[in-house]
Structure 1
Amino acid sequence: MPQTLDAAAVRSWCALALEALGREREEIDAINVYPVADGDTGTNLYLTVESAVQAVEAVFAAHETGASVPAPADAVRAMAHGALIGARGNSGTILAQLLRGMAEVLTDGDAVGEGGQGDGGRRLALALRRAAELAREAVAHPVEGTILSVASAAADAAGTAVRADGAHGAGTAEAVRAAYAGARTALDATTGQLDVLGRAGVVDAGGRGLLTVLGALVRCLTGDAPAPFPAGHRRRENPVGADSAAEACDAEGGPAFEVIYLLEADDAAVARLRARLDGLGNSLVVVGGDGLWNVHVHVDDAGAAVEAGVEAGRPYRIRITHFVAAAEESRVQRAVVAVVPGEGLAGLCAEAGATTVLARPGEPPASGELVEAIRRAHAREVVLMPNDEALRHTAAAAAEQARTEGVRVALIPTRAAVQGIAALAVHQPDRRFDEDVVAMTSAAGATRYAELAVAERQSWTMAGICQAGDVLGLIDGDVAVIGSDLAATAETVLSRMLSAGGELVTLVLGEDVPETLAARLESYVREGHLAVDTVVYRGGRQSAPLLVGVE
């Protein structure tokens, strides 16, 4: 087994942590009573680590064609960044900050474990200390008996092991074993530190998840898997079952919404944002740095929390969860889950009753995000629309996972957002499931799709050679038109698509596209095809400046 935390070990740690959280997710969800008994801490931690895994794998994929391997610093930074952009929930956001703190130390020099004897243990202890410090700084009002206590105990134990080993210092393996043991003891004590945990007879769910991540690090660096923490652990004098843990939490009502978003902003603006959000709600955690932040808060006024982010910078990947709705036991009969490429379409689809997953340019959603969205829909039957050919396998994996959880899922293989809009327009939740799926599939299949994109480099296409900066018109996924002007190229694309007939043209404009383009294209369609209607939507920030649908 590796005795250093080099790039390969970081990759292994992430994979082992994801595997372990996958096994323990449901158990961690079941004991989740603080700060809100919403039963999703294990799932949130899993999705956070899944994002870290994807970021690390991307670094390795970039080196596949060469003989070199990623530098340890590159792998550690990718892990921390992936966790930051994919952080979910209160505990997932704190875990992202813990990884960021470790990365600050681990990226300063060679791999952990290299150098003189004991250097690896010392650096790991320093990394865990920095992680615990940053996590506490990120939480507006730190509380003992939580993941913060477990992180501090891990750092303390690793530091003690290093100091106790004399002049040579403890090695990496000894330090990580000590950290795990300290964290485990601290986790066991959380039941007595928070009244809500004591009444439920459970340990802190976030701390339990952190112990799982540390256990994966032990296994990665030593080859030994730590003894598992007792499932459904609880105090003997208060044997409340994990399944009823939520019933034992505070009866007092809290904020109605959880609001999470990524934010591009400078440090001064974030400092003002912290003060603003602290006055709006509780469970405030703001993590990140270097211009990119992940914001988490529980509030009654979700709109005000988002507006505060707009004032501070540019918020995106906005996620709002209604705690009451999330906790309801009764399911609706049917729901639609759709991946959308921009905030504007997310609002449009949400108004039509769909649960949406936002796909940021260059960052497609993982299968875990789609599974989470299916769970959020809280329905017995779900129609899933990936709205992207590249997401077909990801969506299929998510559908299969949801089916194992008792949800009937139909996957409509929509290849573009405009096909999803067409399918959603004919959706009728009161008719038989199979009939509804057939109607939606037919509507999507009858919609030809196109997008306008700008070429980044010279390349061969189905329409000839394009140069960097050329406007490309892609029809049904293939380059059909190469032009120099967005409007003129769009007219050519519309002409070709409408030559085969059509009744409705859908235009989805990107964030920076002027309204004048929509007016020009509407006029173009009206002059050449009197019987064809045109509808225009604002898609927000999306990968293509213009999406086109013809049905």
Structure 2
Amino acid sequence: MPHPLDSAAVRLWCSLALEALGREREDIDAINVYPVADGDTGTNLYLTAESAREAVEALAGAGVGVGETVRAMAHGALLGARGNSGTILAQLLRGMAGVLAAAEGAECSGELLARGLAEAASEARRAVAHPVEGTILTVASAAARACEDVGGADAATVARRAYEGARVALEATPGQLGALERAGVVDAGGRGLVAVLGALVEALSGAAPARPVRAARPVPVVEECAAGGPAFEVIYLLEAEDAAVDRLRERLDGLGDSLVVVGGDGLWNVHVHVDDAGAAVEAGVEAGRPYRIRITHFEGAAPMVERVQRAVVAVLPGEGLAALCEAAGATTVLVKAGESPASGELAEAIRRAHAHEVVLLPNAVELRHTAAAAAEQVRGEGVRVALIPTRSAVQGIAALAVHEPERRFDEDVVAMTAAAGATRYGELALAERQSFTSAGVCQAGDALGLIDGDVAVIGQDVAGTAREVVDRMLSGGGELVTLVVADDAPEGLADGLQAYVRGTRLAVDTVVYAGGPQAPLLLIGVE
């Protein structure tokens, strides 16, 4: 039975669209060859839809009507728009919102939805400096044309007609654009729009339409548009007056290509491909106040690198730990004693993972802000990054142990976070000088036992101090003790601790890892 196009339906549409783009994202990324073969159209559309959904969910329970809800959807998409196709999707939603807002306080009819789709297609074309056929614009126009004569059809029927019109147009895109024909694929942005329209059909009718036939992956050839085009993609939000934005369009059109400027009412999202990224940003400064500036470098053939869906990046203090985590599939950053990686080094490690989704494990309290800065930097390039604030390598090991790439991203992050949080961490170190600690005054050469980052035990003997630390950590319970031992630790330290735990805690297991030459003297984890 058809459902009315009300605020509840818009909210459901947002959720279903995000789910659909999540399912399709990898396939859409794989067929992305135009305007630049950078393999991120699916990711950009997903992130744009995610921002739209968050804006709509923020209104849940507020009792607003369909007009306010769809305006929130469009505004959220505008704020979070990524890439060429994501920016165009934001303008499509904005055009639709302008029409559907007229139904505030009433149910949207099929005729109103048809007008909304027509305005969406027109708005999107006006936002693009040089519209090209065979793209998401063509698919949007076809969806609108399929609904021109709706008669007395309800909204669900109109949505289904729009979906079918878009699907047929998508299949024809290779014949309209040479880059698509040579690669043997349909337009990536158009395929994403079909997924979004399919979600609208499901929200209004209760039944998902048949999905389009999966297009073949692109041939391993870098298109001339990728090899000979501008070097940078520049995106930013801009607060500016309409007249200033008109001048900005002219300025940016002379600097590069793939220019899309969407928005209105003083807030705009600007997207352009240029060789001089600085000049593109300066043009925004002249027009108004640019912020959330994201600059991505197109690196020749790099866009054709096959991406995995998910990866883990771990910062580790020893070669042994790095080898252990690499064997488990993680990308690692090795930290030398007394040194800390910069945010740029962590960001590069995230890029090196070549994944759509990345879990970042800093494994040190002092790296939390550095890791957050790196995560934010790469998020601006279309990668979904989750930072788990692990404070020790043993917490990172615990998180990695429960990592399952097949799970939904959010579920995997929650499970890894829970595993890390359930792991108490300790460390043994030697005092370098006399100093005051939370456990009293220590002398140079004393063994220091730290628990959760604070000095808890000061002793003369490394093995004895280690036993006391383990005892204190197990006093609150535990089933597994993890020991990471450096190459320069006293001989027999790990064997002695294992024997001690077996002799005093029959129900507790122990596992030992070699930390390598650069690792802390001893790391202890209790789960």
Pair in the same fold by TM > 0.5: yes
Give the structure 2 partner of residue 261 of structure 1: 236
CA displacement 1:499-518 (0-9 Å, x = unmatched): xxxxxxxxxxxxxxxxxxxx
Paired position in structure 1 for 2:101: 107
Task: Provide closer, same or farther for how the CA distance between residues 71 and 308 of structure 1 changes in structure 2, counting only shifts above 3 A.
Answer: same
Alignment-mate amino acid for residue 151 of structure 1: A
**Residue range with higher mean Cα deviation, 300-309 or 1-10:** 1-10
The one-letter code sitting in structure 2 at the alignment partner of 1:45 is L
SS at 1:143 equivalent: coil
CA 1:378–1:72 in 2, change beyond 3 Å: closer, same or farther?
closer
Equivalence map 1:271-282=2 (5 Å): 271-282=246-257
1:46 Cα deviation after fit: 0.4
Matches within 5 A, 1:272-421: 272-324=247-299, 327=303, 329=305, 352-355=344-347, 383=362, 387=369, 395-396=387-388, 404=405
1:351: Cα distance to partner?
7.5
TM-score normalized with structure 2 length: 0.62
The change in CA–CA distance for 1:220 and 1:373 in structure 2 (over 3 A counts) is farther
- Cα distance in 1, alignment partners of residues 200 and 139 from structure 2: 15
Three-state SS of the structure 1 residue aligned to 2:134 is: coil
The one-letter amino acid paired with 1:199 is: R
Cα distance, 1:77 vs structure 2: 1.0
- What's the counterpart of residue 89 of structure 1? 83
For residue 247 of structure 1, report the CA deviation from its aligned partner: 3.8
Distance of 1:374 and 1:313 partners within structure 2:
37
Structure 1 counterpart of 2:199, from 201, 216, 234: 216
CA displacement at 1:248 relative to structure 2: 5.5
Instruction: Give distance in 2, aligned partners of 1:383 and 1:19.
Output: 30
Cα distance, 1:267–1:178 mapped onto 2, change above 3 Å: same
| Letter matched to residue 317 of structure 1 | R
Residue deviations 1:21-64 (CA, integer Å, cap 9, x gap): 10010000111000000010001000000000100011115x3x
Counterparts of 1:218 and 1:151, CA distance in 2 = 15
The 5-angstrom pairing of residues 96-245 of structure 1 reads 96-110=90-104, 113-114=107-108, 120-160=109-149, 162=150, 165=151, 169-231=152-214, 233=215, 241-244=216-219
Larger Rg: 2
Quote the residue 2:20 is aligned against.
Answer: 20
- 1:33 maps to 33
| Letter matched to residue 131 of structure 1 | A
- Which ranges of structure 2 fall in alignment gaps of 5 or more residues? 316-340, 377-384, 390-398, 420-449, 455-527
In structure 1, runs of 5+ residues without a counterpart are: 64-68, 115-119, 234-240, 337-348, 357-370, 414-441, 447-551
Cα shift readout 1:82-133 (whole Å, capped 9, x = no counterpart): 000000000000000000000000011236745xxxxx11101100010001
Q: State the percentage of identical aligned residues.
A: 62
SS in structure 1 of the partner of residue 132 of structure 2? coil
Per-residue deviation, 1:311 = 1.1
- Look up the match of 2:495: none
Residue-pair matches, total: 367
1:402 Cα deviation from its structure 2 partner: 9.3
Confirm or deny that 1:72 pairs with 2:66: yes
Counterpart of 1:7 in structure 2 is 7
Asked whether the equivalents of residues 256 and 323 of structure 1 are also in contact (C-alpha less than 8 Å), the reply is: yes
Calculate the aligned-residue CA RMSD, in Å: 4.1
The Cα shift of 1:375 comes to 5.1
Seen in structure 2, the aligned counterparts of structure 1 residues 100 and 374 have a Cα distance that, compared at 3 Å, is: farther
Contact residue 362 and residue 368 of structure 2 kept, 8 A: no
